[in-house]
Amino acid sequence: MPTLSFDPFFLGQEHDDKLMTAMSFYGDDTMRLAVTMLPSKSTEHPYATRWLAANVELSGHKEAILKSDGEPAVLKMKKQVMEKIAKENGIILVLEEKPIRDAKSNPDAESANNIAAGLLRCHKAQLDEKLQHMVASDHPIVSWLTMYCGVLYNTTHGGSDGLTPFERARGRRMGRPLCMFGERVLYMPVPMGNDKKAKMEPSYVPGIFLGLVERTGEVIIGTADGCAVRCRSYRRVPKEEQWKKYLVLGLKALPWAPSGD
């Protein structure tokens, strides 16, 4: 039976006053990695449960072991996830815990945390360099970058079998071309309702690239008013127009609050 491991951990930069709480997810059969920031230090926020349940479902298994540490808040969340996906998706989970504060007893989770932290350091430094500005760790853009690091790993990291985690999990390649995180792009907003004019007269508007939805292939865009939306179509702009600090720093949306409220 495949093992799906998850683990809350802390992220931050040397000059930060406080560390940010993150959570990783790792499947030992596909080697698929997912990572997200959490709204608070506690895993009891509804977003944490929804995020974990979605990743269990994306693993593609009808039965699996869900492994974590034995912290009371983590155990509570696991039970909520087990009940939610059993009811909605018919997935059976066997719950397993490692001793508290014993990283060696769950090496997959520890490895996932280290991979996620390394990717975030690399791509955060790249974003800072492009903007010529050090973005604060608690800025909303970092939460989106954290999630995108998992997507990048899953779609580009080839294993000894020549396959990426995405290919092992989904049985196909990720065909959509990607651009750099935080890059200014032109995207086509999704028409709302029965707006015939919008459907007949598509127009591209500026935004910033925030990532990709693995399930649907949709692109996540940060809009000029600080929200986050999904779209299917986007275009890159000339190199001299790709980096706009005001668009990045003006982002208010978070993965658990895409409207920026």
pLDDT at 13: 66
Instruction: State the greatest distance between any 2 C-alpha atoms of the chain, in Å, as a whole number.
Output: 59
- 211 sits in which H/E element: strand 205-212
Q: Where are the beta strands (DSSP E) in 108-204?
A: 184-187
pLDDT at 34: 95
Q: Is 247 exposed, middle or buried (0-12, 13-18, 19+ CB in 10 A)?
A: buried
pTM, two decimal places: 0.90
Domains of the chain, each with CATH number or no CATH:
1-106 (3.30.420.10), 114-261 (no CATH)
pLDDT at 41: 62
| DSSP one-letter string for 117-128 | HHHHHHHHHHHH
pLDDT at 15: 67
pLDDT at 17: 67
Return d(Cα 190, Cα 187) in angstroms, integer. 9
pLDDT at 217: 87
pLDDT at 14: 63
Return d(Cα 154, Cα 156) in angstroms, integer. 6
Run means of pLDDT, 10 residues per run, the chain, 261 residues: 91 71 93 92 82 92 91 89 92 87 74 92 95 92 96 90 89 82 93 58 85 90 95 93 95 93 74
